[in-house]
Structure formats: structure tokens, C-alpha cells
Structure 1
Amino acid sequence: MKKPEVRLSNCMAGNPENGSHLFVGLPLRQPRLLIPMASSRTQSRSFGLYNPGSRHGKLSKFLGQVAARAGLMKAAGRLVAVPIETFNTTSAIRSILDRRMISSLQDRCQRAIGKRPFSVALSLGEPGRYQKVTAIMFDKSSTPLAFAKIGFSPQAGSLIANESVALTRLRFKGFREGAFPTLLGCGSAGSVVWLLQSPLLSGVPSPATLQDAHFDFLAELAGNTFQVMRPELWTIWSHLRYLADSPTLPVKAQFRSETAFIMHLRDEFLASSREGGQMPWPFAAAHGDFAPWNVRVAGNRLLAFDWEYYLSLAPAGWDALHFIFRVENLIKRKSLESIWAAFEAGAYRNSVARFERRSGVGIPDERFLGLLVILTIVLDLVPACICGEVRLEGIARS
């Protein structure tokens, strides 16, 4: 495949003075995180691109940072560091993974903030149609200057464009209880879509339970974007109803072992959708992928990033339930069926009530909202709707 014209400069590519074109790939066998041959402090801070939710992932990140700070990674890099073009990756990003991309990011950062990055760390992302490259750029003193995203597929481009819309809209809302990145620039060149934003690396990783800072942020987001409408007029509702009525369900691979239970939830949704869809509901903007790995806490303020799944409208309380369900499933490793049983038994009622008190917004039917959130997760509907695709291939109805 011919590489697109991206108007990339080569002024920093292959600079022998700093070795910025050489990277240590982690893990060694199938690298996903590319650490530059730079100072130990820069290498340690490069792990800011890795935001695991599991205990194992957090331990791996901690050990990597310790090794970097101790200078062990820099020492090992003299033996294993290689040029960026050497890494074997998926076809979705292979055509942009070269020194020209590094130089292009440095150029754009310099134009946006007046400083040229000295080194760049990269994450190659999750393989799949939404895969994209993310990067943190540092100056000579290891201070993070900017965070970048680069997508090559149409789907990745749609998500990056959606995040640009989110950051632009949020900028004018005047948040006091939270913070989000500042959009520094965005654009496209050929089939490549890119976005540049300020880094959010202060504070500490979010705990796996909703705290006051989370509720204050979600309440302010709801208050700034509140409106009332019928769910049946909502785009994601329409797609969910369409899929629920179709012969197959495009369930994500990780949930297919619970096919029978998902079909049960589908049937419950269909049984209550007529009445629920016509009921006036409070709607507000939502992060869309609100979870511990997309949030940091700095004092009493919440720092929310990765707004690719931003929803300009979602039923109030969406983000709170999404956070709970993702933690229970991905961090605590609970099945969907056990999560739903706990939900129906009232295990998460206090969290929903706290959101209602903080926001002043009542949720008309908590159970119906739970159905919407969990089905949207297992069908991966938020990115599919953002990218304008509704996939009907999947699991046939029983």
C-alpha cells in the first residue's frame, strides 16, 4: 500500500545527537508501548500512556516505572532499542509508524505551543478497526508538552474527530469541579487524522469506586448540558432497538460466553422499550467511557481524558452506571449475570442516589437505564454509532 502524503518534515528524524528515533518496545515479544531512548525521568513518565485497570496491569506499570527511574531501562536500551520502523504491528497503523510521523508531531507541537519536543513516547493501541497511535511529547527537562492521537482507519478518524468536538464544546462550559485537556490542534492529511491536546498527568490514578470528586464532576456535566426528551428520539436508542429486533446480535467477543443471558436482557429491553422509550427522560452530555483508566484525581478535582466516546446526549446517570459496570466486569472479573443480579438486588443503589442528590436530576427508571447501559457495552454501540456503523453480523438468536 502506498503511504499517504502527510506533509512530514524530516528535520528531527534520525538525529544522532539524542537517539530520539530509537525505542525500547514493551512487552518485548509483542510491543505495545514504545519508550524513547531518553533520560530516565522521561522514560518513567512515558508510562503515562499506559492506564491499566487490573491489579496485574498496575503492578506491571509500577515495576516498569521503577526500572526506568533506576536507569535500568536506559541501560538495557543500549542493547535492545531499535528504530521505530522495526516494530511489527497491524496494517491499521503500519503505514504511519515511521520517523516522519515523529517529526510531524514535533512540528505540530512547536506550532501549537512554541516549543519543540525533544523526545516522544508512543502507544500502539488495541488492535482492531478503532486502533490508533497515541503519544506523549517531552522537552529536554522531561516535562510533558502535549499528548497526541493519530488514526489511519476511517473508524479511528471518526473517534478522534469526535474527541475534538467534545473538547471544543467543553471548553465553553466553565467547569469548576473538574478539568479536561485543552485542544491544541487537529486535522487530517490524506487518510491520516490527528489530534493534539494538553497532557493530563497530574494527580493520582482514579480509585475503582466512585468518590465525591467523581459525583461532583458528573453533576456539573449534567447541569451544564441538561435537557428533557424521549429516549426513542435518541440515536443510540434507535440503533439498540434495531439490533434487538434483528435476527443476530453483534456481541463483543469477550462477552460471547454469556450469550444466553445477553439474549435474556435483550428480551427484557424489548418488553419494556415501548413504555420506556416514550417516557420523558433527563438527558445530558456524557463522557461515554467513564472508567478509572480514563480519570485522574487531583485534590478535590477530577481530571477526565480520552473523550473519544463523548455523547452530546445520554440519559442522566449514564456515566455513573457505566463506571460501576466496567469496574465490576473488567477489574473485579465478575460476569454480566452476577453484575446484573447485584444491580437488581440494590447493590449500586447508593451510588445512583448520590448522583441524583449531587446533580438534582431524578432518574425515572433506574432498572431501565441499567438495561440500556449494559446492552450498549456488550454490543459496543457507542463507538459504532459515532463511526456511523451498525454491524448486524454476530450471534444468531436462539
Structure 2
Amino acid sequence: MSPIKTAPAALRADDERLRARYVEEVLALLYPGTGERQVEYLVVPNARRPRLLVPADDRRVAAAAVRRYAEPQSRLARLKRDTVVAALRTGLSGLLLRDRLRVRAAEDTIDAYLGRTLGTELRLSVHIGPARANRKPVLQLLDSAGRTLAFAKLGTSALTRALVRAEANALAAVGEAGLTSVRVPEVLHAGRWGEHEVLVQSALPVWRPRSALTAPRLAGAMLEVARCCGTSHGALDGSGYWTRLGARLAAIADHAEGAALRTAAERIARAAGRVELSFGSWHGDWAPWNMASLADAVLVWDWERFTPGVPIGFDALHHALQVGIGHSPSAGQAVNELVAAAPGLLLPFGVVHRQAVEVTALLYLIDLATRYVTDRQAEAGARLGVLGSWLLPVLVARVEAL
């Protein structure tokens, strides 16, 4: 994903520098202080482009950590993943993975804490994500045989601590909702390690064979989530959603982009405040990389943005936008294509009236943009953090055309 007028090569270079710096920060956080125990990680694929840290002293565990962390989205990425796994399994990883990181671990380390919590010895692999405000350490917890036992997230800032707590609450709520087509992780532990919020959740079987995900099946899974905590129906300007959105916009009104979003929302209220909408829950970040389609279920993870009481259909719009950004020449074009595709995307959710379709799509864009500004994604270096380069121009033009 890249802004409209930013050179991809420059973006990649910035991302690489930020990831490399983040690796040092994460290891210092996971292994505070110094001690006698040495912990060593291999850097996958290398120190210049770190994506994953895996144990260097056990090739079986390291291979399993790479193989089972996540399923790559493209054939080329799967080939690269499988090459690394084969090198680790055969002992040839020294030729392919030359970069290692070592720390001297004291007693109070994250692996010791998680081992005590789960009652077993653990090995960790560490995911290194791209720069963004909500980036947090994500750990794969493995046993000595290389079996994936769980995943853990650490909230290390005010924002990420709140998100980790929110995900724990979301998983508890959704887990009790009796979903049949969607499978979500179970909460194994929620607590604190020092000043950091910790959430340990069961590992969904992402390594199982995949099944084709048709558009009706995807919409059905999203509709099940939309209904899982109840639904309501009524005018936009009298809804709890509108009140909450107004409060969020008021909190960022002193930000230039926040002011533009508030103006857009006010214009929607004047033009279409009495439009009737249905409200339900949404996952909040339903994208291809947060799900997997199996024959008997759709696996969905990363529930930290789950929210009840939003216009039904937000998940379908979000998924389509993420796919569009990956395929369109520019993110701005992807936004325009999303609005054009909204009638078809929202039809399975019962949103059929022309004005309701338009308002739902525009509210989704305002909601997403409000999140970006509130989280300060631009300041964190997120690649789409500067809304004026892609989302705002399209949103303003579409709102003015209401």
C-alpha cells in the first residue's frame, strides 16, 4: 500500500530502516536487563529487511516458526517461505540466513513469564511488522517439538495497551456469540507483565488446507459477525453511532485532517441525516491477511478494532478497500473504486436504498480516517498515514456530491 505520489523505492527504504530499529527496541523490551543466559535469534530474511526472528539454536523449532506463522498471500511469497523452511530443516540455513541477534537474558523475561502462565516451557518467534501507531510485539509460542501453542500480543504504549485490552474483550464477546461459519481464537490469558498489557490467544489452524472463498461465503461470514451482538435500525442522526462518531471527531477537531472530517460529517448530517440505516457489529480490520478460508470455517483473527453499533456493511467495504489498494495504481483510485462498487458490496447486507448505500460508504471512510488521525498514524510513519494524499480528496468530493 502506498500514497499516490510517493516513490515505492523510498517507501521501502524507510520501512526497512524503521523495521531494523524496531527489532532492537523489541528485543530490549522482551529481555530487559542482562544476565547469564544467552538468547540467539536468526533474522528472517535478513537484518536489512527483518520480518521474523526465530530461535537460532533449534532448527526444528525455527522451521516450524517460519512455516506456521502465517500463510503468504502470493505464490512468490510462499516459494520464498518454503525455501527458508527447507534450509532450516536441512541445516543449510547458514547459507541463507546469515544475520543473528544475541541478547543476555536476565530472569524477568517475557518467555519466562509466558512459560509460568501457561505452565510449560516455551520457545518464541517474534513478528516484525511495518511502521504504524498500533504496531506491537506479536509472539508465536512454540513447544520444543515445534508445535504452535498460542500467539501473544504485548501492549507497550497507551494506544497498544488499550487495543490489547479491547481485543481480549472482543474475543470474549464474540466467542460467546455462537458463531457457526466464523472461527475466532480463544483467550488463554489476559494480564500484565510489568507495565505491558499481555494477551495470549489460541492458535488458529492457518496451516490447514485452504478452501476457495466465494463472495457469498465471505459476505455470509461478515453478516454473522454483524449480527453477533444484536442489531438495530433507525435514522442516522438519532443513532448511538452518530453520537459516538461526533465525540471522536470533536476530539481531533484541532487537527487539520480532523477538521476536514468533521466538516464532511456535518455535511452528511445536513444532506442525509434522516436516512434509515441498520446497525450491528464489525470486526474493524477484516482484510485478507487477517483471515483464512477452510472447508469448514472462515478463520478470522486480529479483533482489536471490533466495535458494535456501526452501520452494517462496514466490514465488506473495508475488505474491498484493502484488496483495492493492493491492486490499484494508487490508493486514491482504490477509494473511488470502492464507492463505485458499494451498491454490490452492500446488497448482501440488505443495504439497497441509493442514499443508504452512499451514506454507509462515506461514513465508513470517515470512520477509518478518524481512526488514522486519532492514532496519529502519520506521525508513526504509516505508509497511508497522510490522508490528504489519498482518502480525503475523494471523500470531500463524494460528500459534496450528495
Shorter-chain TM range is 0.7 to 0.9
* Cross-structure match for 1:338: 333
* Residue of structure 1 equivalent to 2:92: 75
The equivalent residue for 1:31 is 50
The corresponding residue for 1:259 is none
Sort the Cα spacing of 1:241 and 1:186 in 2 relative to 1 into closer, same or farther, 3 A: closer
Question: CA 1:97/1:50 → structure 2, altered by over 3 Å: closer, same or farther?
Answer: farther
Letter in 2 for 1:228: H
Counterpart of 1:375 (choices 329, 346, 366) is 366
- Name the counterpart of 1:290: 286
- Choose from 125, 130, 134 the match for 2:134: 130
1:156 aligns with 2:156: no
* Superposition map of 1:4-153 within 5 A: 14=37, 21-28=39-46, 29-37=48-56, 38-40=58-60, 42-49=62-69, 55=74, 59-71=76-88, 74-77=91-94, 80=98, 82-85=100-103, 100-110=109-119, 115-117=120-122, 119-153=123-157
**Structure 1: gaps (5+ residues):** 16-20, 87-95, 252-262, 386-392
Match of 2:256 among 236, 245, 248: 248
Give the counterpart of 1:351 among 345, 350, 365: 345
Residues 382, 172 of structure 1: alpha-carbon distance in 2 compared, 3 angstrom cutoff: farther
Q: Which letter does structure 2 place at the counterpart of 1:248?
A: A
Alignment gaps of 5+ in structure 2: 1-25, 377-385, 394-402
Displacement of 1:311? 0.9
Q: In the alignment, what sits opposite 1:311?
A: 307
Contact 1:44–1:64 (Cα < 8 Å) also in 2: no
Q: Which residue of 1 aligns with 2:222?
A: 218
More moved, 225-234 vs 44-53: 44-53
Instruction: Give the stretch that moved more between structures: 65-74 or 144-153.
Output: 65-74
Following superposition, the deviation at residue 66 of structure 1 comes to 2.5
Query: Contact 1:151/1:194 (CA < 8 Å) preserved in 2?
Result: yes
CA distance, structure 1, for counterparts of residue 107 and residue 270 of structure 2: 52
What is the aligned residue count?
345
Q: Cα offset for 1:30?
A: 4.3
C-alpha distance in structure 1 between counterparts of 2:275 and 2:370, whole Å:
24
Task: Tell me whether 1:227 sits opposite 2:218 in the alignment.
Answer: no
Q: Classify 1:276/1:250 alpha carbon distance in 2 versus 1 (closer, same or farther; 3 Å).
A: same
Decide whether the 8 Å contact of 2:61 with 2:144 is kept in 1.
no
What are the Cα deviations for residues 349-372 of structure 1, in whole angstroms up to 9, with x where unaligned?
33322333xxxx767611111112
In the alignment, is the contact (CA less than 8 A) between 1:85 and 1:99 conserved in 2? no
- CA gap 1:354/1:279 in 2 versus in 1, 3 angstroms: closer
Q: Distance in 1 between matches of 2:266 and 2:100?
A: 54
1:271 aligns with 2:267: yes
Deviation at 1:152, TM superposition (A): 1.2
RMSD, aligned α-carbons:
4.0
Secondary structure of 1:22's aligned partner: strand
Q: Is the Cα contact below 8 Å between 1:166 and 1:307 reproduced in 2? A: yes
Q: Structure 2: how far apart are the matches of 1:250 and 1:395?
A: 11
Contact 1:120 1:135 in 2 (8 A): yes
Q: For the residues of structure 1 that align with 2:65 and 2:82, how far apart are their CA atoms?
A: 8
Letter of the 2:42 partner, please give it: V
